A and B are shown apart, each in its own frame.
Chain A
Amino acid sequence: MAVARHGIHRTRWLKLQAFRYIVFALAAIYFLIPLGAMVEFSTRANDGSRTLVFWRQIFDYQEMIGLPIDTPTGIIASLELAVITSLAMLVLLVPTMVWVRLKLPRVNRIMEFISLLPLTIPAIVLVVGLFPMYIWLGTNVNDSILTLAFAYIVLVLPYAYRALDAGLGAIDVKTLSEAARSLGARWDQVMLMVIAPNISNAILNATLLSVALVLGEYTVANNLLYNNLQVELVHLGRTNAGVSIAVAVASLMFAFVLLVILAFVGSRPRRIHKEEPATMLASQSITSI
């Protein structure tokens, strides 16, 4: 009897393992081939031989999309936007979140609701409302591509908020800042020298997510008629597919390195790793899609 039951278990176990590895193999084919194909495509010359010529043109593709050779490419603009957006996001969010936790706990709910709101508003919809604002901004203030940062801060808000919220939830903000204040620290010192070092992981998480999002952003830039990296990639794809895919792979690798850093940093604290990245990303990914 016991042997028979063991046998049933064993066959079911074998079936299950067979099922699992078939599924994994099929998933690997579907998910890895397109990625590998980009590398293959961007290193293939017209006659089918291997070449790195497309990769060498990554930083000077302006001519190919009809821009004067000395104009900075969208790569530069996107990198600048990533830096500005991340910094502005931190300056806007961290002090406010700390302040709300210390002095206005009731506002916490409202702030969370508002911060997560952009997840439910598709980027293409937000752009419709931003369009007249950017026309006004462009004629009356400044029409630099860097003004996109205003919109990008809104796009990164939910991701940054959740990352920072997790960090602040893990430390005792009240005790730390009261201790610092009673020792004579000013509020800016509390923020920069007490709170910030204690949530450095969360700050890094929020920053990396923001950078990854800004570098991949297409919808807002394209519809507000600015040429960031992704918009130029689409133009480039229509004139020189090889270079466009080389640039795409390069930007993907850059984002991937950022995400690997994120995964490493994210798994270090005591929090259970399998919860953290999943819950953080298990949301509508409207902004980048």
Chain B
Amino acid sequence: MTTAGSPAVATNVGRPRLGGRRFSLDWVGTVPFFAYVGLFLVLPTAIIALGAFFDANNSFTLDNFAHLSRSYVVAATVTTTEVSAITALLGAMLGALLAYAIATGNPDGVLRRMLVSASGVLAQFGGVTLAFAFIASIGPAGFVYLFFQAHGFDFYAKNLWLFDTPGLVVVYLYFQIPLMVLVFLPALDGVKPQWREATQSLGGSTWHYWRYVAGPLLFPAFLGGVLLLFANAFSAYATANALINQGAPVLAQQISNGLSSEVGAVEPGFSKALAVEMVVIVTLVTVLYSLLQRRTARWL
């Protein structure tokens, strides 16, 4: 154990102590934590990563990934990408507007504190309860729908879009907008009023200011927000599943189906391949997001 105490070390008085510390038993204190995350975080991840390459007979195969080209998987991937992209773009734009309305107010005001706290709560507010909230309001028995229907505007006249992908967009925006407020507000706070004054003193208009100064500075932060929102929507499951119980149009629902249906027993690797697909997409987007965040941090 104490080989560090070899003669070569004698030249440096500090070394033996260092070496002694290196071989101390302090690390034992971290064993419970690392054993736990090893068992319930690393092991499941490994099960997915490895399991995706094996079939029901435990022999190596790439079929699970080939099965990702099944029409319903492709359809789910496309739908999920569409819903995520639309809610990310809309959420980012509306969230940026809301963040701007907050940022231009009193920085220490009660209103701002309230809105930021509310955004923190609402960005986390998803899942079953959120789906219920929309069913209760604009659902076929919700008072908003009943009100509009009574006044001659039946927005479900053609189809009941709330329980389909358009419904997902309306519902997802509920947590996407507040999330954008949270990530975009710091960037807006970094914009200095002096920049606007400088633009003005050089003869620039409001349009010039936004086009050539604030716009380019805020754009990386905005784009980063879009990507974060995309990843957020892409991996959402509970809200979609509570809202839509027919057809599993979302990739997360396909993962769930692949897990628990007969497919799960016949092709245990299939749901894992689906999971890998989701992780790859979400990770790519998240990495891009953090790169953009770093770029934003340079100026704001």
Contacts and interface: CB of A to CB of B under 8 A. Distances in A.
Nearest to A131: B259
Contacts of B242: 218, 233-234, 237
A150 to B, nearest CB: 5
A127 B45 CA distance: 10
Interface stretch (B2-10, B67-75, B110-118): B110-118
B244 to A, nearest CB: 11
A154 B41 contact: yes
B214 interface: no
A183 interface: no
Contacts of A23: 97-98, 100-101
A246 to B, nearest CB: 10
B136 A40 contact: yes
Contact of B122 (A31, A92, A93, A131): A31
Contacts of B43: 129, 133
B108 to A, nearest CB: 8
B45 A129 contact: yes
A143 B36 CA distance: 19
Given A128-B275, A223-B259, A286 B235 contact: yes
A20 to B, nearest CB: 4
Interface string A22-39: 011001001101111110
B81 interface: no
A153 B144 contact: no
B199 interface: no
B44 A126 contact: yes
Nearest to A150: B40
A289 B231 CA distance: 12
A278 interface: yes
Interface in A253-274: 256, 259, 263, 273-274
Contact of B44 (A20, A34, A129, A263): A129
B37 A20 contact: no
A289 B182 contact: no
Contacts of A67: none
Contacts of B228: 284
Contact of B116 (A24, A132, A277): A277
Given A24-B101, A277-B117, A288-B238, A125 B122 contact: no
A33 B138 CA distance: 9
Interface stretch (B11-19, B25-33, B55-63, B152-160): B25-33
- Contact-residue size bin, chain A (C-beta under 8 Å from the other chain): 35 or more
A259 B125 CA distance: 12
Given A277-B117, A286-B232, A289-B232, A153 B48 contact: no
B194 interface: no
Interface string B259-278: 11000000010011011001
Given A99-B29, A103-B26, A277 B132 contact: no
B45 A288 contact: no
Contacts of B107: 274
Interface residues of B, number: 91
Contact of A288 (B37, B104, B127): B127
B143 interface: yes
A20 B137 CA distance: 26
A127 B279 contact: no
A96 interface: yes
Given A41-B141, A274-B113, A286-B235, A125 B126 contact: no
Contacts of B122: 31
Nearest to B42: A114
A131 B264 CA distance: 10
A20 B27 CA distance: 55
Contacts of B169: none
B45 A96 contact: no
Nearest to B286: A120
Nearest to B229: A284
A95 to B, nearest CB: 7
Contacts of A281: 120-121, 123-124, 182
B222 interface: no
Contacts of A30: 173-174, 177
B256 interface: yes
A20 B104 CA distance: 8
Given A34-B136, A92-B32, A216-B129, A121 B256 contact: no
B135 interface: yes
A244 B235 CA distance: 25
Interface of B: 26-27, 29-30, 32-34, 36-37, 40-41, 43-48, 51, 97-98, 100-101, 104-105, 107, 112-113, 115-130, 132-138, 141-144, 173-175, 177-179, 182-183, 185-186, 206, 228, 231-232, 235-239, 241-242, 245, 252, 255-256, 259-260, 268, 271-272, 274-275, 278-279, 282-283, 286
Given A19-B101, A285-B232, 5 more contacts: A38-B136, A103-B26, A114-B34, A230-B128, A286-B232
19 contacts: A23-B100, A37-B138, A37-B142, A38-B137, A41-B137, A41-B142, A124-B252, A124-B255, A124-B256, A132-B51, A154-B37, A216-B129, A230-B128, A284-B231, A284-B235, A285-B123, A285-B175, A288-B126, A289-B127
